[in-house]
Structure 1
Amino acid sequence: MKFKKIIIFLLIIFFLLSSSYFIYKQYFKVSPELPYKTTNIEKRDISQIINSSGTLEIKDTLKIGSLVAGTVKQILVKENDIVKKGQILAIIDNGKDDTEVQAALGQVKNTQAQLDYQEKYFARQQELFKANQISQDYFEQVTKDLEQLKANLITNKATLKKAEIEYKNTRIIAPEDGIIIAILVTEGEAVTVDLDATVLFKLAKDLTKMEAQLNIDESDIGQIKKNQKVNFTVSAYPDKNFEGFITDVSFAPKIINNILSYKASLCVENQNMLLRPGMTVNADIKIAKSKNCLAITTQAFQINNKLIETVAKNLHHKIEFASKNSIKTLEAKCQQQDAVKNIWLIKDNKFIETPIIIGITDDTYYEIKSGITEQDKIIIDIEETDELKKIYSKIYDSAV
């Protein structure tokens, strides 16, 4: 009884396997006539881009220091304050306050008073000299005293002006309209004016205009030019695209981890004030664009020649490889940045390796300059041995 059940069970398995293999053979068998996929070239827009990254910076930044040494007496602004040219930002205590100004002013007033008297005295003495009532020596001495007082007044006024300038310099003022983006000192902190001068503030003249220094690989730098459009994103707004353009390309190389690169300056409009200094920019530089051009998928360049030969043999198709002369002829026609690549066509049961001239690429499609027409059938895939067929065959053979 048990043996009979086993026989029935095996027959059921055999029936299921046979049915599965029959269904596979009828409905899932790859047609032996077309073990490959073809396509035609199409017209589309292609944009070629170079990827790069960099850090956002404020385009025009001023570092504000002090012309006098001392300590910070008072800070009159806060970060992000909008300031006007000439506005006082801080006061420096140089230990003198306005004492030198007052002393110099006193000297000027005193000398001026003496000069006023001496001018009147000189006028009287001049009349007496004309009337021969005083000696020439005495009149010359009066004249000398007058000129000496005039010279003293000039000197004292200069001393006053110097004292006023030094006192004025204890007031740190904004050199331009802008926004305070950093305060680098605190009240009571010492301020120096030597070679390592203290920077008190950083002022941005215009936050609506920013720039980023992009690192461009040496293999791409030849394609970067001024005024090229750039699309970029920042981590703070991953779903938002920003735009800018290249303003400068540096000649100075930069080597990081043995990788040579060059700097390209990216100008960015920041009217909505979303962007901030220090943000990392992930940029796509549009170096070329071709509208409504003939295009071919990159798959066409990935066909294995040995596989083509095998398929041609199995299908009893002819095969024709590209000649060196045809390749050299096209290479002679190539312009800068063009290239010659080989693709496979199928025509009248014949595989034909064909060289073509390609232009720009977006890494998915290539622009076609010449070599094929819109009517040509281009091979983009070759079907390899069907693994599913192998599995079913093994199961069927073992069951039989």
Structure 2
Amino acid sequence: MKLSKSAWIIAVLVLAGGAYVYVQGKNAKPAMDRYRLAEVVRGDLVRNVSANGTLNPVVLVNVGTQVSGVVKALHVDYNQKVKAGQILLELDPALLQAQIAQSSANVTRAQAALKLAQTLAMRQHNLLKLDYVARQDVDQADDVVAGARAQLAVAQAQLVRDQTNLAYSVIRSPVSGTVIDRSVDVGQTVAASFQTPTLFKIGQDLSKMQIDTTVAEADVGGIKVGQPARFTVDAFPDRNFEGKVRQIRLNPTSQQNVVTYDVVVAVDNPDFVLLPGMTAYVNIEIDRRNNVLLVPNAALRFKPTEETDKSADKPHRPAGTGVYVLQAGKPVAIKLQSGMTDNKQTEVVSGALAAGNEVIVGDKQAEQNDKSKQTQRLF
């Protein structure tokens, strides 16, 4: 007996359907193998604000000069410890000494002019007593004395200024500390006509350092003075250093519509391993929860696939925050109230979870299907 065309089609579809069910059943994995699970644990949860900054001395003094000249002698070099008042550098004093000599001569000339004016004025006063001169002549003589006295004062002030400039040709350290930078050499001409040049940079105390960091405006609200901070530097990648927030500067910086604030972290450096200019990768602790129930954030993001939702035992989706656990091989939703998070784990404030429970964080089969679909799109 020959089968009709429609019967052949029905037979083919039945066989294909049976084959699909057989393949799917063969490829289906047990629930424990299909889902990735993670354990709910108890522990400490810390919320940090991350920022990069630069290590600097707490007090960094730029030593300059108020006079111009040629560097005659250098008395200190890089990394050298200095004391307040110690001579750092000497400029050639020849021009300044010549100016002092000229000013001294001007003072001598002004003194002689004043003495002459006083003598003439006295003579005019004596003649006035004898009615030999008019009162106007006496007044003029007194005016000449006053002018000569003023010229002497100008000459003396000029001499004091030149003597002060000569003293400025010897550069002394204003503080005790360490020479961080030296910008001049012997024979170099230093010009202080328009702007005071920086000759040395001296860090006052390198056992006390600070990190100048920039924090985004979205994070600065959680930062308070005194909060602990941890940081690392490239020179010691396996070592963690500690500090505290010392200052939140109110002056904002805006670049490409991004507003940041300077946050200063105080750091102890007793062994002097932290050097000025090092880049510090800082985590500022802004909140902490001790001995709380923790669930991975991946569990909060997990949702059953459409295939599971269409099954007879469709899992109930929790209102609000929830996670899924395996019960009898099926994902079952558990509602919970979440608290603080560090973007990896979240605090469980309340809910039917306990330490040691396992929650679903991923579906291996769904992930493989997604990879297969992506591969098919490529070809």
Cross-structure match for 1:159: 158
* Contact 2:325-2:360 within 8 A present in 1 as well: no
Q: Deviations over 1:35-77 (max 9, x none)?
A: 9898885543211224443332334333333333332122222
Q: Deviations over 1:150-189 (max 9, x none)?
A: 1221121122133223333333333444432111111111
Pairing 1:184–2:220 present: no
CA contact (8 A) 1:221 1:262 kept: no
Counterpart code for 1:103: Q
> What does residue 62 of structure 1 align with?
61
Q: Contact between 2:70 and 2:91, CA under 8 Å: does it hold in 1?
A: yes
Query: Is this contact kept in 1: 2:220–2:261, CA < 8 A?
Result: no
2:360 aligned with 1:360, yes or no?
no
SS in 1 for 2:47: strand
What is the aligned partner in structure 2 of residue 342 from structure 1? 322
Task: Give the match for residue 102 of structure 2.
Answer: 103
For the 8 Å contact 1:223–1:287, the answer to whether it is kept is: no
Give the AA of the match of 2:294: A
Deviations 1:9-48 (A, max 9, x none): xxxxxxxxxxxxxxxxxxxxx9999998988855432112
Look up the SS of the partner of 2:160 in the other structure. helix
* 1:139 matched to 2:134: no
The Cα of 1:363 is off from its aligned counterpart by 5.1
State the Cα distance separating 1:224 from its structure 2 match: 5.0
DSSP 3-state at the match of 1:89? strand
Quick one: which amino acid aligns to residue 320 of structure 1? P
Aligned-residue identity in percent: 23
More divergent stretch after superposition (270-279 vs 299-308) = 299-308
Q: Write the mapping of 1:109-258 to structure 2, written as runs, cut at 5 A.
A: 109-116=108-115, 119=118, 122=121, 126=125, 129-130=128-129, 132=131, 135-194=134-193, 198-214=197-213, 216=215, 221=219, 224-227=222-225, 228-246=227-245, 247-248=247-248, 251-254=252-255
CA distance in 2, matches of 1:136, 1:278: 77
Alpha carbons 1:79, 1:182 under 8 Å: kept: yes
Q: Output the CA distance in 1 between the equivalents of 2:177 and 2:144.
A: 53
Query: What residue in structure 2 maps to residue 321 of structure 1?
Result: 316
Moved more, 233-242 or 151-160: 233-242
- Judged with a 3 Å threshold, the aligned counterparts in structure 2 of structure 1 residues 68 and 232 are, in CA distance, closer, same or farther, namely same
Give the TM-score normalised by the residue count of structure 1: 0.66
Offset at 1:96? 1.1
- The equivalences for 1:279-318 within 5 A come to 279-298=278-297, 300-301=299-300, 303=302, 305-306=304-305, 309=308, 318=313
Structure-2 separation of matches of 1:65 and 1:285? 37
- Alpha-carbon separation, structure 1, partners of 2:60 and 2:164: 26
1:74 corresponds in structure 2 to 73
Partner Cα distance (2:82, 2:38) in 1: 64
Structure 1 unaligned blocks of 5 or more? 1-29, 328-340, 386-400
AA at the equivalent of 2:317: A
User: SS of the counterpart of 2:305?
Assistant: helix
- Equivalents in 1 of 2:315, 2:142: separation in Å? 116
What are the ranges of 5 or more consecutive residues in structure 2 without an aligned counterpart? Answer: 1-28, 366-379
State the one-letter code of the partner of 1:140.
Answer: D
The aligned residue for residue 11 of structure 1 is none
Q: Which segments of structure 1 move beyond 6 Å, counting only runs of 4 or more? A: 30-40, 347-350, 381-385
Q: Which amino acid aligns with 2:173?
A: A
Distance 1:322 1:240, change over 3 A: same
Structure 1 SS opposite 2:151? helix
One-letter code aligned to 1:356: L
What is the rounded CA distance, in whole Å, between the counterparts of 1:235 and 1:61 in structure 2?
Answer: 23
> Equivalents in 1 of 2:252, 2:146: separation in Å?
63
1:303: how far off?
4.9
Cα gap change, 1:97/1:184 in structure 2, threshold over 3 Å: closer, same or farther? same
Q: How many angstroms apart in 1 are the aligned matches of 2:196 and 2:32?
A: 83
Deviation sequence 1:183-207 (CA, Å, 0-9, x none): 1111111222355764322222333
Distance 1:276 1:381 in 2: 44
State the number of aligned residues.
333
* CA distance in structure 1 between the aligned counterparts of 2:314 and 2:180, rounded to whole angstroms: 70
Asked if the contact 2:42–2:355 (Cα under 8 Å) also holds between the matched residues in 1, the reply is no
